Structure 1
Amino acid sequence: MTTVDDRPASPPAEAPRRRVNPVLALLRNSWRQLTSMRTALILLFLLAVAAVPGSVLPQRGVNPEKVDQWFVDHPDLAPRLDQLGFFEVFGSVWFSAIYLLLFTSLVGCILPRARDHVRALRMRPPAAPKRLERLPQHAVLEAPAAADAEAIAAVLRRRRWRVVVRGDEVSAEKGYLKETGNLLFHVSLVAVLLGVAVGSWYGWHGNRILVAGEENAFCNTRQQYAEASLGPRVDSADLPPFCLTLEKFEADYLASGQASRYWATVKVDQTDGSARTAGFSVNSPLRLGPANVYLLGNGYAPILKYTDRYGRSQTSTAPFLRTGDPNATEEGVAAFPDANVDPKTGQRAPDQQIAFDGLYLPTAPDSPPFVSSQFPAERNPAVVLVAYRGNLGLDAGIPGSVYKLDQGQIANGKLKQIGDKKLALGEKWTLDDGSTLEFVGTKPYVTLAVRHAPAQTLLLVASGTLLLGLMGSLFARRRRVWFRVTPPAGGSPTGGSSLMEAGGLPRTEHPGFADEFAQLVAAVSDDGRDARPAREGDE
């Protein structure tokens, strides 16, 4: 006796699911979010916003004096902003984090898209759909007697279409420049970011005023710059060794006072003992190995000879800075802190220092007021000075500007005004204590910027290719066309001749595709007179 088991069969056992490591899943999802185009755009926007404080607030690497003044003007807010790195924005941790995230996001976006684009370039245009009349652009016309698929393909190839012939069908595609330009734009953007990073790490720059004369020679060391900034990967010993001496400066002006030419001639001394003479101008820098020397400005340094009451003479050749007047009016200070030292005791009273604050006029007017020059060239040079005697405050150890007097010393009465006078070239001024000041002459000076930007070629090339890629991505359009040559159906009005059917499909929005499709069909059919748009019911 056979026993039948009528119980329902149990379902087959499911294979155990593999447990997903939550850490790996989190890392994978985070990477996908970081490398998405949306995240890249957000990071690019954040980078632009983060750069705003760097352009609004003074930065220590560019103008430390203005940073110090900001602390004086805003004693409560400045320390808090300093803790957040707002006075060193481009070297702060948060700006670097956004920068690196954007760099990583762009690289993560580019690599898979580049792989897909290369794969698309290697693929052949797809076969024609069965019903071309359903495409946005469609035409049916009588085929010329010699028309065949190879002849149609030859016409398309002359118009730079990628063509594939499949029997009596021709498939063609065009507009890969759009994706190529898109990738080129993003690769160039990565190159720009890389160039900025390399320039920030390994670049350096410094500014210096160089007065003519051997005694004012300048050597390329950090200590001799008025202001300098070295990258984090640059040490003072990495600066290229050379020395510069300004031998001559030439400036030509039009009758209106506008400058027509600036030219500086310097002597360059190398470490091997060799020397050469070189010239450079505003738009033609002097190249010294990896460093470029730029001419930023120029001016005059009045030579003032002061003879104190003990008969000891001192000479000051201090540069006066331009006030912004187009006729080169300058202001500055000539200080004599070591004047009036008693030759018997070798001691100087602390209140016997003297300084002269005022204006230099390359072309002084013939009558008062003597407040501005009438021409930038030296036609009637004169100085208009105010004399101060007292304690200049130089012994306090507090940094200050060499182009202005300490107004605090004037306010507290430690520095007192003792007179003022206009001096023409060669004129002498006798002060109340018998000391004299003579305006001996002037020397030209130039403002130099010495810079090393190791990635400037990369930035130039990347910026150019970025624009090319942007134009390609904006103006190129992907589109496809198909042609099919078929014998007519029974009863066709063509009397037994072949028909040529064409269809077109733009891959993206392309307002001019209809005109391009019509011109293409006309070119393929020898002349476009027989072309007619397809109507409902055409086969």
Structure 2
Amino acid sequence: MTQTDQRPVERGELTARELGRWVWRQVTSMRTALVLLLLLALAAIPGSVIPQSGVDALAVTRWKEEHPDLTPIYEKLGLFSVYDSIWFSAIYLLLVLSLVGCIVPRLFVYAKGLRAQPPRTPRNLSRLPDHTSYETDLPADEVLARARAVLGKRHRLRGLDRPSPSGSGYSTNEGSVSAERGYLREAGNLLFHLSVLIVLAGFAIGGLFGYQGGVILVQGSTFGNNLTQYDDFDPGGLFTPEQLDDFAFTVEDFEVEWLRSGAGAGTARGFEAGLSYHQGDGPEERYDLRVNHPLSIGDTDVFLIGHGYAPVITIRDGEGNIAHTGPAPFLPQDQSFVSFGVVKTAAAEPGQIGLEGLLYPTFRFYDGDPVSVFPDDLDPLVSMLVYTGDLGLDSGASQSVYVLDKSNADQVLDEDGKPFRLDLSVGETIELPDGLGSVTLERIDPWVRVQISQSPGKEVALGGVILALIGLCGSLFIRPRRVWVRARSVDTGAPGDTMTTVVEVAGLDRSGNGDLDEVLADLVAALQKE
């Protein structure tokens, strides 16, 4: 077989080029774009239900501890980082490709329609749903001139149509005027479709060059904007550390306003963190950080997104030395702000000491169970179990501050052989069994969780949204309408070669508002006005 001997294409079979064109048409169809948009919305649901590592790494850690069987499956599917997963990116990129393929050709169609002249006058205006006619003694040219003057105020006009005579009784003195208004509706469509691409470009810029990080800060602590200070950090694909603005801030105080009576008792009405900050070597400034009122420093925004309590606990080992002292942020578990936390120290002798338990902001016993009756720290109590031994703190492996490795540790027991529990009020000290030392609850400090981010494409996306709203309003409220006026001189057949002018007026409302009769009546009145 020679090179020219190729298998003939059977009937109905597509060549490679035809198959490629067919696939491209399917991908760039509006139906495919709508399906991909629906798939993207469905794919985003896990990101709003399952904790995301780029948003709250602490919540991800807690979720993994509570669901050890599901965790390997979720990790393989990328459900802890949905928006960075391969399958979500594939849907997003296909949607972008489909939208670009849909929108770009339509941009040329809309642009062509925007420049187009009104269509020629139909041959038989009486067949249109809205039409009227009358006779006048004015010459046809004068009627057409009046029509152009009246319609030209609010319509786009076409050049005067001068058809040749067609049929007996018609003179050469015949013509028509075509007018159109509402053609800017096409500009609204053009602007709306173009804005979709602008919004996508804004999100792409933010996703590639931006970043988002979070950190928990106890009242009185200071944050410096460098990578080592973040608890979790989610950079864009093209992010570089040089993008980090040079600033630092200190949480001076934190206040929560609680509703203390009525149906909403126990609900927080407002949060406010007093910050002192400085940018580079600049002067120190003050700012009251509140929800939805971020602090902007350079290109960086600092948001207040959460708060909780940090018991200040001092641990003395069996030799009386302070092995640990300082605040330990506890994580809220419910609306009453019952919070879980861990305290551990490697410096204790004769063995490492770890504490794990709950903080009750306003402690009470209810039906024999410990509860918190109010989320404010009115009567706090810390209840923790004690572990000693090898807590894995010397292994060199990274370890979450909210996880206590008890695999090689022993639980401390009381004289009855039951787990020893510390129930500490503020200022109280309890001695540990077997001469392990003592634990003191010094006070309760508040902590705040802040989100620090750069979104370089947000102005672009915002501009796209504004343009989309303008274009949508134009598409919805601009009413396209076409009006035609034809005038022709007709011989009345009376002695003296008397001529009269028959004027036909018709319109077509492309928005279906149904008020064209009134428009035509006003136009006829204007044409007949002396």
The answer, yes or no, to whether TM exceeds 0.5 is: yes
Deviation string 1:299-348 (CA, Å, 9 cap, x unpaired) is: 221112222221112313101111122x3332212223322x2xxxxxx4
Counterpart position of 2:230: 225
Distance of 1:30 and 1:476 partners within structure 2:
40
Gaps of 5+ in 1: 1-24, 342-347, 530-539
Amino acid at match of 2:121: A
Paired residue secondary structure (1:465): helix
Distance of 2:456 and 2:385 partners within structure 1:
47
Taking the TM superposition and a 5 Å limit, the aligned residue runs for 1:447-466 are 447-466=449-468
The answer to whether the 8 Å contact 2:380/2:425 transfers is: yes
Distance of 2:21 and 2:188 partners within structure 1:
25
Distance of 2:448 and 2:136 partners within structure 1:
78
Return closer, same or farther for 1:273/1:502 CA change in 2, 3 Å cut-off: closer
Q: Tell me how far 1:518 sits from its aligned partner.
A: 0.2
Alignment counterpart, residue 197 of structure 2, candidates 175, 190, 198: 190
Distance of 1:148 and 1:115 partners within structure 2:
37
Counterpart position of 2:333: 323
Is 1:423 aligned to 2:417, yes or no? no
The answer to whether the 8 Å contact 1:35/1:104 transfers is: no
Q: Tell me how far 1:405 sits from its aligned partner.
A: 3.0
Counterpart position of 2:156: 162
Q: Tell me how far 1:448 sits from its aligned partner.
A: 0.5
Amino acid at match of 1:524: L
Paired residue secondary structure (2:343): strand
- Alpha carbon RMSD of aligned pairs, Å? 3.8
Return closer, same or farther for 1:381/1:150 CA change in 2, 3 Å cut-off: farther
Deviation string 1:190-236 (CA, Å, 9 cap, x unpaired) is: 111111111111000100001122xx322112222111011121122
Return closer, same or farther for 1:498/1:472 CA change in 2, 3 Å cut-off: same
Taking the TM superposition and a 5 Å limit, the aligned residue runs for 1:131-170 are 131-141=124-134, 148-158=143-153, 160-164=154-158, 166=160, 169-170=176-177
Q: Tell me how far 1:370 sits from its aligned partner.
A: 6.3
Counterpart position of 2:484: 482
Is 1:293 aligned to 2:294, yes or no? no
Amino acid at match of 1:462: G
Counterpart position of 2:440: 438
Alignment counterpart, residue 266 of structure 2, candidates 245, 254, 257: 257
Distance of 1:208 and 1:524 partners within structure 2:
69
Counterpart position of 1:504: 507
The answer to whether the 8 Å contact 1:370/1:384 transfers is: no
Q: Tell me how far 1:285 sits from its aligned partner.
A: 0.3
Counterpart position of 1:206: 213
Gaps of 5+ in 2: 1-14, 161-173, 414-418
Distance of 2:268 and 2:367 partners within structure 1:
26
Return closer, same or farther for 1:39/1:123 CA change in 2, 3 Å cut-off: closer
The answer to whether the 8 Å contact 2:28/2:98 transfers is: no
Return closer, same or farther for 1:258/1:144 CA change in 2, 3 Å cut-off: farther
Paired residue secondary structure (1:433): helix
Q: Tell me how far 1:516 sits from its aligned partner.
A: 2.4
Distance of 1:432 and 1:69 partners within structure 2:
29
Counterpart position of 1:414: 410
Counterpart position of 2:166: none
Paired residue secondary structure (1:188): helix
Return closer, same or farther for 1:244/1:103 CA change in 2, 3 Å cut-off: same
Distance of 1:27 and 1:69 partners within structure 2:
53
Return closer, same or farther for 1:490/1:424 CA change in 2, 3 Å cut-off: same
The answer to whether the 8 Å contact 1:182/1:469 transfers is: yes
Paired residue secondary structure (2:122): coil
Amino acid at match of 1:132: L
Amino acid at match of 2:331: L
Deviation string 1:420-458 (CA, Å, 9 cap, x unpaired) is: 243322222233235322221122211010010001111
Task: Give 4+ residue runs of structure 1 displaced > 6 Å after superposition.
Answer: 25-29, 67-71, 144-147
Paired residue secondary structure (2:371): coil
Counterpart position of 2:32: 42
Return closer, same or farther for 1:246/1:482 CA change in 2, 3 Å cut-off: same
Distance of 2:79 and 2:364 partners within structure 1:
47
Return closer, same or farther for 1:524/1:477 CA change in 2, 3 Å cut-off: closer
Q: Tell me how far 1:184 sits from its aligned partner.
A: 1.7
The answer to whether the 8 Å contact 2:131/2:520 transfers is: no
Counterpart position of 1:126: 119
Which shows bigger deviation, 242-251 or 423-432? 423-432
Paired residue secondary structure (1:372): strand
Return closer, same or farther for 1:94/1:78 CA change in 2, 3 Å cut-off: closer
Q: Tell me how far 1:246 sits from its aligned partner.
A: 1.0
Distance of 1:379 and 1:205 partners within structure 2:
35
Amino acid at match of 2:257: D
Return closer, same or farther for 1:527/1:122 CA change in 2, 3 Å cut-off: closer
The answer to whether the 8 Å contact 1:220/1:242 transfers is: yes
Distance of 2:337 and 2:82 partners within structure 1:
35
Aligned pairs, how many? Answer: 480
Counterpart position of 1:332: 341
Distance of 2:26 and 2:183 partners within structure 1:
22
Q: TM-score with structure 1 length normalisation? A: 0.76
Q: Tell me how far 1:95 sits from its aligned partner.
A: 5.5
Paired residue secondary structure (2:362): coil
Amino acid at match of 1:414: D
Amino acid at match of 1:46: L
